[in-house]
């Protein structure tokens, strides 16, 4: 059981990755009550130095981690690693807020986006799962509309930045772009296909359904977080040559009709959402607008005249923040308030 205190011993597992470093910054900027910070990563990052609240913190090897006395672990590793160190965390009595897909669909483990289902966070939960980055921003925008008029169907296409794959993918896009502009070969290491000046859609597809792993995650996680196990959801995921922030073109059908102004008003009043939507002035959110921002941005709200009670939405958010690090720390904030 999580013990309430004035300050906490917090650890980040996977501290040197893109999400782990974002967690470090957000813990500081949101003034999370940390009295001691431990950082863990792979062996090659052991000894790397970070500064937190003016103090030096050295990275320790995750494989040798001793979680004794650690109140809260923020996980930013692969699913395989999470399953291993989660057992050590449980034995040590630490609470794990995990960003991997390892525990998301476990029936007894809550999958949480605080603006949607933060009430599920209790001090009795040893593991709380953080959703896929695309799912997180999607459900923040869907929840207030669902509460108002109930969703019938969700159909979406993502435009996902390379930072969702990690630091190596960011480097690959940069290196390929430089190479192509210098009339050199664009080398591929992270992605099978060239990502610079290209779009990639075929990510580890299931041989029977044809859905990618990412598409399957969005479908199943959306249903779980929204507590709508039968909600029709379909997704197509596209990796685009953008460094940071994911865009989503989303079409929804609702049980009752909303005017465009009603939909915009509902979204504007909802927690965690910024509406940027002025067609006459060509105002809408872009990935660059959302980098470093905490909110989910919504624009291009328009009627889908191909179906009854249909709406189109353009949803954009910083995938390293609301899609990952920020959402995990918001869960931790729910925990200390529970």
Q: Give me the active site residues, please.
A: 133, 246
Phi, psi of 307 (to 5 degrees): -140, 165
Cα gap 330→295, rounded to integer Å: 12
Cα gap 268→104, rounded to integer Å: 29
For residue 274, give Cα distances in angstroms to 137, 234, 264, 289, 298.
12, 25, 10, 11, 6
CB 200 within 8 A of CB 238: yes
Cα gap 322→136, rounded to integer Å: 7
Structure tokens given for 268? 């504007």
Cα gap 79→100, rounded to integer Å: 5
Cα gap 155→253, rounded to integer Å: 9
Cα gap 35→55, rounded to integer Å: 11
């Amino acid at each position: 059981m999580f013990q309430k205190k004035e300050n906490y011993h917090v650890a980040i597992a996977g501290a040197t990755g893109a999400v782990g470093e974002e967690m470090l910054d957000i813990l500081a900027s949101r003034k999370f009550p940390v009295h001691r910070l431990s950082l863990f990563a792979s062996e090659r990052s052991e000894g790397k130095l970070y500064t937190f609240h003016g103090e030096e913190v050295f990275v320790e090897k995750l494989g040798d981690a001793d979680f004794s006395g650690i109140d809260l672990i923020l996980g930013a590793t692969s699913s395989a690693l999470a399953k291993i160190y989660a057992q050590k965390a449980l034995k040590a009595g630490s609470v794990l807020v995990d960003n991997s897909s390892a525990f998301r669909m476990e029936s007894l483990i809550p999958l949480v986006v605080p603006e949607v289902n933060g009430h599920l966070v209790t001090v009795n939960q040893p593991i709380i799962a953080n959703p896929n980055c695309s799912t997180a921003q999607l459900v923040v925008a869907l929840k207030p509309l669902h509460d108002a008029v109930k969703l019938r169907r969700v159909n979406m296409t993502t435009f996902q930045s390379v930072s969702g794959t990690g630091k190596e993918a960011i480097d690959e896009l940069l290196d390929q772009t430089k190479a192509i502009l210098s009339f050199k070969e664009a080398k591929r290491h992270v992605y099978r296909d060239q990502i610079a000046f290209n779009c990639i859609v075929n990510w580890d597809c299931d041989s029977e359904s044809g859905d990618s792993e990412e598409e399957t995650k969005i479908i199943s996680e959306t249903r779980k977080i929204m507590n709508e196990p039968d909600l029709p959801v379909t997704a197509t995921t596209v990796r685009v040559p953008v460094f940071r922030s994911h865009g989503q073109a989303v079409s929804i059908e609702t049980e009752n009709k909303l005017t465009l102004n009603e939909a915009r008003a509902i979204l504007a009043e909802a927690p965690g959402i910024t509406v940027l939507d002025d067609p006459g002035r060509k105002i809408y959110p872009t990935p660059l607008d959302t980098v470093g921002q905490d909110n989910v941005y919504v624009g291009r709200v328009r009627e889908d005249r191909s179906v009854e009670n249909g709406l189109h939405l353009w949803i954009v958010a910083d995938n390293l923040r609301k899609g990952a690090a920020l959402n995990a720390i918001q869960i931790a904030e729910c925990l200390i308030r529970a």
